[in-house]
A and B are shown apart, each in its own frame.
Chain A
Amino acid sequence: MEYDGGDIMKEAGILSKEEIEKVTPPLDRAEKGPVAVIECLEKIPCDACGWACPFDAIIKERITVPPKIDYDKCTGCGQCVLVCPGLAIFLIELDGEKAKVTVPYEFLPEPRVGQEVVALDRRGLPVTKAKVLKVMRSKDKTLAVTIEVPRELFMEVRGIRI
């Protein structure tokens, strides 16, 4: 729809600039390999990510305190991406001019490795075309899809469309 409900609607469900900064991992860490980005800042009662992490990299002080991440312990394995009930965890990895972004995905058709998909931002708007590098799968059918995008989009791309 062309109708724009005004500023108030644009912000609903979209992280602010400051919030994005807050959840962005140190870039030197992201250069070394994949790392989790947890876009969960509210005090919701949940600790799924905390126990899903095989490396104790996600700290849940209390069930209602938002998760904190220990970037040195995180290996970017993606278990948390597959488990998070809010689908709010992503992986990023910086590699020269490119970035790899991993997003949770629960739709059909399933993406295939090598396939070209449309990368979407937090508003669901297309930002670039991207190649699928990897598809992980949880036993309850959540996929974690890794795509390659231009480096500058690593904190922008958060979804895919096939």
Chain B
Amino acid sequence: MLVPLNRRITSHPILEFPREKSVAFMFEGKRIEAYEGESIAAALYASGLKTFTRSYKRNRPRGWFCGIGKCSSCLMTVNGIPNVRTCIVPVKEGLNVRRQKQGLGTLPSSLYENPEVEKFDVELAVIGGGPAGLSAAITAKRLGCSTLVIDENFKAGGQLIKQTHKFFGSKENYAGVRGIDIAKILLKDLNELGGNWLLSSTVAADYIEGGKHVLIVPSLVEPKIRVIKAETVVVGTGARENMLIFPNNDLPGVYGAGGVQTLMNVFGIKPGERALVVGAGNVGLIIAYQLIQAGTSVEAIVEAMPRIGGYFVHAAKVRRLGVPIYLRHSIKRAIGKESVEAAEIVQLDENWNPVEGTERRIEVDTIVLAVGLTPASEIPAQAGCKLTYVPELGGQVAIHDPDLKTTIPGMYVAGDSSGIEEATTAMLEGRIAGADAALSLGYKPDEAERLKEKAKRDISEFRESPFGERPRKGKEKVWSMMEAIS
């Protein structure tokens, strides 16, 4: 229930939250004060609400989880429209928001009968405005190609806009620059080149008509559908967070790592007071550090493997802050009725089975899952690309070649949606795909070829690291599959 609580962070060592304009909306008859630029779900969380929806059968509470429109834990009815992903819809003065009975919305009879339909053409449509998509658009636009970046979110930049840490990599690939600042650079580059944007818009379908891609793109904020004809398409839709199976894993207070970053680093909202992080890969280690920067104490990190998965330097950073990392440990269950009140962790034996008697209760209100990502391959799947399951790449991906071309002519994949890796390689893959798309349309062939080859060299150097071995193997697998097909 709503309690008079403000979870907004007012001072942060790295970030500033200007909160210039306040807006108010109605939530189940109650007035909620929020700030322009916040999502509905974020504003509700800031005001103290934890239960966003209920499960259909057992009426179990569900709350914030992914924060980027990839799960269904925040569906509400907004101005009569059911099943709105409130985490990616911005607050607006006077909105009327309510939760849905048993989590289900009721379809209105007339609202969407005559949506406005807008049609236009573009040479390169980029789906997803994160590091891969932005880099693809910038590269193609620079070569002379007309581009349009489509993103579901109302803020551009994908996951870069919540990465407060400095990136590794090489100087020309922004080593030592914070992700949030890389986002600013890429957005500025694209805007200066005159690249077009379509935010708050979701690609519902991609089909081929007369040798061209036709994208059906409904707006998430107005009754409008765009029908976009594109010569080429780069899919840079990123990934979704993996779930971990344990009792009460659906309780409000159990969040995906990216979801927590969205709350604290995009919206400046403190996720909770005390947290347990599950997973000591780079994401888990970075999250722990950022939680402490946001004012949340991190009680422990548990990692099922007998070693840290992420970089030693990231682990050293959180150890210096006094955070214990329990290797060969996992979460056994979350404890709580309406939201997380504690977590039980347990040691694992060599066969990953819990060791009886090693259970410990940790008093936390926040459990952060950093247990990997799965590529978002829905659009290539729907478009008819041949997919394959590659464990090294995190799941189902469109089979592609080193130029990121899929089995559907004119369609590319890049970044995490082509295989889980990280942001620097996503930018490089975006450059390769963008350059190849421009090249295929005949734009500045020499220059395009040069840019593509340079990005390929950079990416293979990057993957020489032992940390790059797994994705490299995965990529080699899909490349050889692609070769076998063609």
Contact = CB atoms under 8 A, between A and B. Distances in A.
A47 B328 CA distance: 32
Given A42-B311, A122-B320, A86 B293 contact: no
A27 interface: no
Contacts of B112: none
Given A13-B312, A40-B313, A124-B320, A140 B181 contact: yes
A82 to B, nearest CB: 9
B265 to A, nearest CB: 13
B320 A120 contact: yes
B360 A3 contact: yes
A51 B311 CA distance: 21
Given A12-B307, A45-B467, A5 B316 contact: no
Given A45-B461, A88-B313, A5 B175 contact: no
B325 A62 contact: no
Contacts of A45: 168-170, 424, 461-465, 467-468
A153 interface: no
A46 interface: yes
Chain A facing B: main interface SS: loop
Contacts of B324: 1, 5, 9
Contacts of B468: 45, 64
B326 A9 contact: yes
Interface of B: 11-14, 165-171, 175-178, 181, 280, 292-293, 299-300, 303, 306-308, 311-329, 347, 360, 362, 424, 461-468
A158 interface: yes
A155 interface: no
A94 to B, nearest CB: 22
Given A13-B325, A83-B166, A125-B322, 15 more contacts: A13-B317, A14-B316, A43-B467, A44-B168, A46-B169, A47-B175, A48-B176, A64-B468, A84-B166, A86-B316, A86-B317, A106-B13, A108-B11, A121-B320, A142-B166
Nearest to A88: B313
Interface string A62-96: 11100000000000000000011111100000000
Size category of the binding interface on chain A:
35 or more
B316 A13 contact: yes
A41 B14 CA distance: 27
Interface of A: 1, 3, 5, 8-9, 12-15, 39-48, 51-52, 62-64, 83-88, 106-108, 110, 120-125, 140-142, 158-159
B317 A122 contact: no
A5 B322 contact: no
25 contacts: A1-B324, A5-B347, A8-B328, A9-B325, A12-B303, A13-B312, A13-B317, A13-B318, A44-B311, A45-B170, A47-B169, A48-B168, A48-B171, A48-B176, A63-B464, A86-B168, A87-B313, A108-B11, A108-B12, A120-B320, A122-B320, A123-B319, A124-B320, A140-B14, A141-B13
B273 to A, nearest CB: 16
B13 A107 contact: yes
Nearest to A120: B320
Contacts of B177: 140
Nearest to A142: B166
Given A5-B327, A62-B464, A39 B316 contact: yes
Contacts of A64: 461-462, 464-465, 468
Nearest to B458: A63
A88 B308 CA distance: 17
A13 B319 contact: yes
Residue among A42, A46, A87, A158 with most chain B CB within 10 A:
A46
Given A5-B324, A85-B176, A63 B462 contact: yes
